[in-house]
Amino acid sequence: MDKSKGRVLVIDDALEMATAVVEYLRRHGFEAEAFDSGQAGIAGFRARPADAVLTDLRMKGTDGMDVLRAARELEPEIPVVIMTAFGAVESAVEAIQRGAYHYVTKPFKLDVVRVLLERAIGERSVRAENVALRRAVREAIPGGSLVGRSAGIRAVNELCRRVAGATTPVLVLGETGTGKELVARDIHADGPRRDAAFVAVNCAALPESLLESELFGHVRGSFTGATQTRRGLFVEANGGTLFLDEIGDMPLALQAKLLRVLETGEVRSLGSDGAQKTDVRIIAATHRDLVSDIRSGRFRQDLYFRLNVVPIRIPPLRERADDVPLLLEHFLRRGAQRFSQATSITFTPEAVALLVRYAWPGNVRQLENAVDRWLITSEGREIAAADVRALIAEWDTPEHPALPAEMLPLHAVEERYIAWVLDRVGGNKTRAAEILQIDPSTLYRRGRQRKS
Ligand SMILES: Nc1ncnc2c1ncn2[C@@H]1O[C@H](COP(=O)(O)OP(=O)(O)OP(=O)(O)O)[C@@H](O)[C@H]1O
Ligand SMILES: [Mg+2]
């Protein structure tokens, strides 16, 4: 029965006519039923919905037009094919105008009706599938672009969509690699400022004085080295969004200046005495626990209240293991586009199970790095549990980087150790600097030197 091409009701007051059509349709894989009046046909449709209706037009009492109207009332998308006597083409045209799918003139060839019904039912199921697919996609990604179907990610995406239209500040909270920057870009791209600038600044990456002139600008000659006037990021982001990444690492003195700008809506660049109006949406992010930073005096409470209008908390990946297979799929697809040499890789079910169970201290970024690495090194191969175990072992029990086998000059050991720490935090220089207790700008400088 489930192989049926669909259920068709055949309605004709000449019952032998209807029965002949029904028998033919059954022989061709349909589930068909004959009715000898419009009334009986409509009752049959009410009793059990059909995929298509084939009805005679001219019948005593309830005619084909009535059947058409009743069927479409019960199910607007139902295809209704009208059978008309020769010479009744005008009423057939009227039926089409009222929503009939097609008409056939008696006497007709049975295979013509069969093909018509197959097509009508096929189109309808494609339409239904599309609707279902669109709904599924919408539910999986409600507004935001974060991949994941866990309740946590759905809530984040939903919140992104809701705040995108407003100008209130947003505070994005989450561990390293959870997608804080992605959320910020999403909110910007989803809102009315999408065509204006999205300006990002990492408050942990620059020394205080530099960060200050970056943010607020400076007038030429206002300090040694200020050879040119700089507008500052607030002015650059005017009309758009300013993303203050790692806000928890902003020095206290700058926090005070930032607060003033937020309160007055005006920026004053270094060395200038005029203030400039700004219209900037602020999105701030941090992996730090700002409440405890307030307690220890590292973060200003008044600034916190200003920024924390809409907090968006992204849960760590280990709390939403359901998302791991989906993210794997996502990064595989994206990686295949990025690395032309990588065809594709697959995972054994055991490998996926291990990845789902892993704690992911570097969160989504760590997973992304793992997939990219496999794409590059294991082209076209299947990733098995052993491969996953090997990588996890490398992450979790690394060799002692501070104790190399050979004897090395101190700077080389330092270099290696920094590389090792960076690797363990998924490349997050801010986190690495925190662990190493050095200024993040040192790491950024080193990064640049290493690259050049
Ligand atoms: N839910 C997600 N779906 C798809 N990609 C994601 C998701 N979450 C994170 N990513 C990807 O993971 C990487 C890390 O994300 P992002 O840089 O936004 O994290 P972060 O929270 O800002 O990290 P950090 O605190 O280290 O700066 C990016 O490449 C991002 O595109
Ligand atoms: Mg970030």
Could you give the 3-state DSSP secondary structure of residue 322? Answer: coil
**How high does pLDDT run on average in the chain?**
86
Beta bridge partner(s), residue 198 = 241
For ion ligand 2, residues whose CB falls within 5 Å:
181
Distance in Å, CA 362 to ligand 1 centroid: 10
Convert the pLDDT of each residue in 56-75 to its tens digit. 999 999 999 999 999 988 88
Distance in Å, CA 376 to ligand 1 centroid: 20
Any idea which architecture 7-137 has in CATH?
Answer: 3-Layer(aba) Sandwich (3.40)
**Pocket lined around ligand 1, Cβ cut-off 6 Å:** 146-148, 153, 174, 176-182, 287, 330, 364-365, 368, 428
Q: Whose CA is nearest to atom 16 of ligand 1?
A: 179
> Which residue pairs from 305-308 have beta carbons closer than 8 angstroms and sit at least 24 positions apart in sequence?
306/169, 306/259, 306/262, 306/263, 307/169, 307/171, 307/247, 307/262, 307/282, 308/169, 308/171
Choice from 365, 435, 443 to test ligand 1 binding pocket (greatest atom count within 8 A of CB): 365
Assess whether pLDDT exceeds 70 at residue 402: no
Q: What is the distance, to the nearest Å, from the Cα of residue 308 to the centroid of all Cα atoms in its chain?
A: 24
Nearest atom (ligand 1) to Cα of 181:
18
Q: Nearest bound ligand to CA 322?
A: 1
Per-domain residue ranges for the chain? Answer: 7-137, 151-315, 320-394, 410-451
Q: Backbone phi, then psi, for 426, in 5-degree steps?
A: 65, 30
Could you tell me the CA-to-CA distances from 292 to 142, 176, 247, 426 in Å, in that order? 33, 18, 14, 25
Q: Whose CA is nearest to atom 30 of ligand 1?
A: 179
Nearest atom (ligand 1) to Cα of 367:
12
Q: What CATH number does domain 410-451 carry, 3.40.50, 1.25.40, 1.10.287, 1.10.10?
A: 1.10.10
Beta bridge partner(s), residue 172 = 285, 312
Tokens of 186: 């999403």
Assess whether pLDDT exceeds 80 at residue 217: yes
How does DSSP assign 175-231, residue by residue? STTSSHHHHHHHHHHHSTTTTS-EEEEETTTS-HHHHHHHHH-B-TTSSTT--S-B-
Q: Whose CA is nearest to atom 31 of ligand 1?
A: 182
Q: What CATH number does domain 320-394 carry, 1.10.8.60, 3.40.50.300, 1.10.1200.10, 3.30.960.10?
A: 1.10.8.60
CB 206 within 8 A of CB 198: no
Convert the pLDDT of each residue in 166-198 to its tens digit. 999 999 999 999 999 999 999 999 889 988 999
Choice from 158, 182, 443 to test ligand 1 binding pocket (greatest atom count within 8 A of CB): 182
With bands split at pLDDT 50, 70 and 90, how would you rate the model's confidence at 398? Answer: low
Choice from 158, 176, 178, 318 to test ligand 1 binding pocket (greatest atom count within 8 A of CB): 178
Convert the pLDDT of each residue in 426-444 to its tens digit. 788 888 888 888 888 888 7
Convert the pLDDT of each residue in 7-17 to its tens digit. 999 999 999 99
Q: In terms of Cα–Cα distance, which of 55, 3, 49, 12 is closest to 30?
A: 3
Same CATH topology for 7-137 and 151-315: the answer is yes
The predicted structure's pLDDT at residue 3: 67
Distance in Å, CA 409 to ligand 2 centroid: 34
Q: Nearest bound ligand to CA 428?
A: 1
d(CA 45, CA 32): 12
Q: In terms of Cα–Cα distance, which of 32, 10, 398, 438 is closest to 207?
A: 438
To which CATH superfamily is domain 151-315 assigned?
P-loop containing nucleotide triphosphate hydrolases (3.40.50.300)
Q: Note if the pTM is more than 0.85.
A: no
Residues 6+ apart with CB under 8 A from 348: 382, 383, 384, 385
